[in-house]
């Protein structure tokens, strides 16, 4: 087919192709039939035209990308698109703690003493390197204590919040935008109050709107959205959907600017404020926690559509999984399942398991806050939300890797450290959430490709589960691993389930559990020569297929570190997490062993003296 050079092709974005199209077009014109388009002058003109076309195409492509949630890269674009879905990205969140403050020796011995709001408490947080960082917490409201004894006043359960209290004011006028000028504002601490004028000392409080359906013209509510540079804008209704402040009114913003999760873990507080002339002492009831950094761009992309689909109510499991992290920023990962999926089934309930950013489990106060305050107005009446603690299933790895010392600058110890880091990264990224899968083949591939000198690796996998027993009364226990247990009936290789030691009431021997490979759990102690003396061959049952261990009724008196650890040989080296179970690689028990590959290094060409590593 002949090429039509009388038309410019417009389907190219590459610079060189654009320039080539321009040349072909000009060559097809009679006026330029004898021109040398590669000559200096004409080539420069064509470069300018091609650059201009290329820039416009690139700009258009980038601009269109910023119009869609999946392809936008700028934070302001993501915030703008999510605002159309009724979603506001989470701001930084202040850490909070609960303390008791005792005030003594107050002059005049009054009947009551009032602790004003915004009172400072100094604390220090120790990071992973051992360095201390000073942080300041403040009260957000006033507290009053009556004299409890001679000149002693105890302020119970004072809530203190990390950050710096700030106030900002706007006079209402046409075309005024009410922007909070601090990017590190904790929007959950924002208090909005409106005065009739600067001379009027009375304030009307406005609440954050959560449902346009409930808003009428008289509703004193405000709305928020994230704008450019990570700032937040507050806006009000139009007089039809919620109240509109009048020109001349004064809008007051009171809020905290925060350091986010860097203040989590503070537990020793020193009062630095008003003492009424007395002396103070502080008792920590609940250490600082729940602080978090601003929501990431990837989190906005994930949560905004789900929040839009949920419409601020909780009906399906996905609704809970979307809404709770938004309302409770201390959520690192969450699992939700209906009562019909529980084992055993419990109808009429929805089970929620939250792994917090700080700590291993939620405190009872945090659980009550989530169920009673965050979910009560959004939950279906017939469904009762129940928060359960996560259960941890530890993966024990014994890693041997072969390497060619002629192909690396690392020593054996250096390669060992590298492999350990690969495993730690896999632990922190691939399996840190609920509903994750430990895939042995993927981990081995990461190990084998981490350094060119590593020729192959052999990884042995075992599981461990920590049981916290009830002491000094008869109890039975059910351990759901949700992963099949290896079993070869009649095998002489030994048991596939073993435990650490414990004592029982009325006996001084240290006992252990193991299985008989026939589905029975046995209990034994060791003689002076190390021989197993079995005292109960029917101490429980083992369901190898479903991965369930049932310990029969037993009165346990003590255990090392207050736990009994079961070590299990899994049937599959792919390990899954189910419901409230979290899987994690026990890095403190990780074994990594380097082996020189003498075949690849040429030391043993014939393959003799190769060091074999068993899979089990």
CA angle 92, 93, 99 (to 5 degrees): 155
Cα 24 from Cα 12, distance rounded (Å): 14
Number of domains comprising the chain:
5
Quick one: tokens of 312? 């601020």
Q: How far apart (Å, rounded) are the C-alpha atoms in residues 184 and 260?
A: 8
Task: Give the pLDDT score at 52.
Answer: 81
Task: Give the model confidence (pLDDT) of 402-442 as tens digits.
Answer: 999 999 899 999 999 999 999 999 998 899 899 899 999 99
Q: What is the reported pLDDT for 1?
A: 41
Amino acid 192: pLDDT: 96
CA angle 568, 572, 576 (to 5 degrees): 85
**Confidence band, pLDDT 50/70/90 cuts, at residue 234:** very high
CATH number for the domain that contains residue 359: 3.30.300.200
Cα 143 to Cα 140, 148, 161, 304: the distances in Å are 10, 15, 15, 39
* Whether residue 499 sits in one domain with residue 515: yes
pLDDT tens-digit map of 355-401: 987 778 888 888 888 888 888 877 877 788 999 999 999 999 999 99
What is the pLDDT, as a whole number, of residue 29? 75
Indicate if 326 and 361 belong to the same structural domain.
yes
Q: How is residue 527 annotated by DSSP?
A: -
Expressed as residue numbers, the domain containing 43 is 15-65
Whose tokens are 């989190």? That residue is 299
Tens-digit pLDDT profile for residues 198-220: 888 889 999 988 665 555 667 89
What pLDDT shows up at residue 128? 63
* Distance from chain centroid for Cα 27: 62
Q: Is residue 415 part of a domain?
A: no
pLDDT of residue 162: 95
Same domain, 265 and 252: no
pLDDT-above-90 percentage for the chain: 51
pLDDT in tens, 291-318: 888 988 988 898 888 777 767 677 788 8
Tell me: do 479 and 554 sit in the same domain.
Answer: yes
Confidence class for position 612, pLDDT limits 50, 70, 90: low
Query: What is the average per-residue pLDDT within 244-271?
Result: 92
- Same domain for 243 and 269: no
Q: What is the pLDDT of residue 604?
A: 58
156/188 same-domain check? no
Do 156 and 266 reside in the same domain of the chain? yes
Residues 6+ apart with CB under 8 A from 530: none
Tokens representing residue 106 in the block: 């107050």
Please give the average per-residue pLDDT across 48-77, as a whole number: 85
pLDDT digits (tens, 9 = 90+) for 74-103: 999 999 999 888 888 989 999 999 999 998
Q: What is the mean pLDDT of residues 337-354?
A: 89
Rounded Cα distance, 461 and 390, in Å: 22
Task: Look at residue 7 and tell me if it is in a domain.
Answer: no
Q: Which of 149, 146, 249, 271 is nearest to 197 (CA)?
A: 249
Backbone angles phi, psi at 523, to 5 degrees: -125, 135
**Residue 397 domain-assigned?**
no
């Amino acid at each position: 087919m002949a090429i039509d050079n009388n038309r410019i092709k417009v389907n190219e974005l590459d610079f060189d192709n654009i320039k080539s199209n321009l040349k072909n077009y000009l060559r097809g014109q009679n006026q330029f039939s004898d021109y040398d388009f590669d000559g200096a002058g004409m080539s420069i003109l064509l470069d300018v035209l091609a650059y201009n076309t290329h820039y416009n195409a690139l700009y258009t492509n980038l601009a269109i990308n910023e119009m869609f949630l999946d392809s936008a890269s700028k934070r302001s674009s993501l915030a703008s698109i999510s605002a159309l879905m009724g979603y506001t990205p989470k701001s930084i969140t202040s850490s909070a703690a609960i303390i008791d403050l005792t005030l003594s020796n107050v002059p005049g011995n009054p009947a009551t003493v009032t602790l004003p709001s915004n009172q400072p408490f100094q604390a220090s947080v120790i990071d992973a390197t051992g360095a201390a960082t000073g942080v300041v917490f403040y009260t957000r409201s006033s507290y009053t204590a009556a004299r409890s004894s001679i000149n002693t006043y105890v302020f119970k359960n004072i809530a203190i919040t990390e950050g710096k209290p700030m106030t900002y004011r706007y006079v209402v006028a046409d075309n005024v935008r009410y922007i909070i000028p601090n990017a590190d504002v904790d929007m959950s601490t924002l208090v909005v109050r409106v005065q009739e004028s600067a001379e009027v000392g009375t304030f009307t409080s406005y609440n954050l709107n959560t449902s346009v359906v409930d808003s009428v013209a008289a509703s004193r509510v405000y709305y928020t959205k994230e704008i450019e540079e990570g700032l937040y804008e507050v806006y009000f209704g139009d007089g039809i959907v919620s109240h509109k402040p009048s020109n001349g009114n004064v809008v007051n913003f009171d809020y905290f600017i925060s350091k986010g999760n860097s203040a989590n873990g503070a537990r020793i507080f020193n009062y630095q404020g008003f003492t009424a002339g007395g002396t103070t002492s502080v008792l920590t009831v609940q250490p600082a926690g729940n602080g978090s950094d601003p929501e990431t761009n990837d989190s906005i992309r994930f949560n905004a559509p789900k929040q839009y689909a949920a419409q601020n109510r909780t009906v399906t499991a996905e609704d809970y999984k979307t809404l709770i992290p938004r309302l409770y920023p201390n959520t690192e990962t969450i699992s939700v399942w209906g009562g019909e999926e529980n084992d055993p089934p419990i109808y009429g309930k929805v089970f929620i398991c939250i792994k917090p950013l700080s700590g291993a489990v939620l405190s009872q106060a945090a659980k009550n806050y989530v169920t009673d305050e965050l979910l009560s107005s959004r939950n279906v009446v017939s469904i009762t939300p129940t928060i359960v603690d996560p259960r941890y299933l530890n993966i024990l790895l014994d890693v041997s890797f072969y390497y060619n010392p002629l192909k690396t600058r690392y020593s054996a110890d250096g390669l060992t450290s590298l492999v350990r880091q690969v495993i730690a990264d896999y632990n922190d990224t691939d399996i840190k959430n609920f509903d994750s899968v430990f895939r042995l083949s993927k981990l081995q591939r990461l190990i084998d490709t981490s350094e060119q000198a590593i020729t192959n690796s052999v990884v042995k996998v075992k599981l461990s589960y920590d049981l916290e027993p009830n002491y000094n009364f008869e109890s039975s226990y059910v351990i759901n691993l949700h992963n099949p247990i290896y079993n070869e009936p009649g095998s002489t290789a030994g048991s596939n389930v073993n435990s650490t030691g414990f004592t029982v009431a009325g006996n001084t021997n240290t006992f252990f559990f193991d299985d008989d490979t026939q589905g029975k759990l046995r209990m034994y102690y060791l003689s002076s020569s190390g021989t197993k003396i079995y005292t109960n061959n029917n101490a429980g049952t083992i369901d190898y297929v479903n991965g369930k261990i049932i310990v029969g009724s037993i009165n346990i008196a003590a255990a090392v570190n207050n736990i009994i650890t079961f070590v299990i040989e899994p049937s599959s080296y792919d390990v899954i997490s189910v419901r409230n179970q979290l899987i994690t690689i026990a890095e403190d028990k990780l074994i990594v062993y380097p082996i020189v590959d003498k075949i690849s290094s040429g030391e043993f060409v014939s393959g003799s003296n190769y060091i074999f590593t068993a899979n089990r």
